[in-house]
Amino acid sequence: MSQSTAEEAPIETEHIAVRTDPRDGSSHPPSPNPKAASGSGSELLPAMRWMRGEMVKEFVRRLRRKSKTERGNSLRGRMRKRKTALAMSAAVMGFSTGAVDVSAYDPQYSISFADLDPTQQRVHALDLRVSETMKEALAEEEGVRLVVYRDVAGYPTVGVGHLITPEDGLRVGDRITYEEAIAFLEKDLEKAEDGVKRLVGDLPIYQHEFDALVDLVYNVGEGNVSERESPRLNRAIASADYDSIAAELEYTTAAGSVARGLQYRSERRQSIFMEAAYEDPRAIEVDQSGRVTA
């Protein structure tokens, strides 16, 4: 698909015309009705499929390791704060830290860990961040590329659908590391999270509903979920009609043609929103020889 400017060649969805614009934060769109390579190029497809899967697995492995390290650091930080609060309480009340009666604490020094569980009840979007499970699902959908390439719209892209900006200092052909790809993803997700929070306002949502909306904004850009571009979605949010919100998460055509990849992604996005089901509907494995198994 050729595109001379960001205003041309929109992705026509069922409800909105999605325009790919790196300034808007949209990720690269999938190619409509991709054709299998012909001639000698087709011989490389099995190896390419296998390599794509392996790169996603390695990316997810490193993402999990980073998340585990951060959780450990966060826990240690909370414990240090708790010990400090205990010491302060003991000092104020004239006790030694070795013989503190916890039940006698002044409430102002107590620390509560009874946070609301967004997987069990709807909370304000301002309290949410995208889940680790959603990050992994995004890597599966977008794939992982460590060499800067041009997407189907002609924009330099790298990592997990990250559109290159002048600040990145990268150009087509440059190589990045997995860690840099993770950093790009998390930076892009912060922008998508902020877009979702502006979109839903005070509407309470579950973690999985928030994740699905982040996937939408990450994929099409915040401008394409505005009231002007997506009036039905915004009306559904305004009326707290969660079923209608789910219906507005589907789009299946790009440049006037049905794209199977968009169909799968829409199914997955709606399943995440409605059922907290993050599994890939394709559910296939590709071995090193390129054989596909269900």
Token readout for 4 is 């001379």
Rounded to whole angstroms, the Cα distance separating 126 from 187 reads 17
Q: What is the pLDDT of residue 137?
A: 94
Are 46 and 282 within 8 A, CB to CB? no
| Longest CA span, the chain | 83
Please compute the mean of the pLDDT values over residues 106-110 and round it to a whole number.
44
pLDDT tens for each residue of 126-162: 999 999 999 999 999 889 999 999 987 788 999 999 9
Confidence of residue 245 (pLDDT cuts 50, 70, 90): very high
pLDDT tens for each residue of 157-215: 999 999 999 999 999 999 999 999 999 999 999 999 999 999 999 999 999 999 999 99
For the beta carbon of residue 185, count every other beta carbon within 10 angstroms.
Answer: 23
Rounded to whole angstroms, the Cα distance separating 155 from 22 reads 8
Please determine, for residue 107, whether its predicted confidence score (pLDDT) is greater than 70.
no
Residue 149 pairs with which residues in a beta bridge? 157
β pairing state of 11-12 and 292-293: unpaired
Rounded to whole angstroms, the Cα distance separating 159 from 178 reads 8
| Interhelix angle 207-220/260-275, nearest 10 degrees | 150
pLDDT tens for each residue of 45-95: 777 777 888 999 999 999 999 988 988 776 666 666 666 655 555 555 454
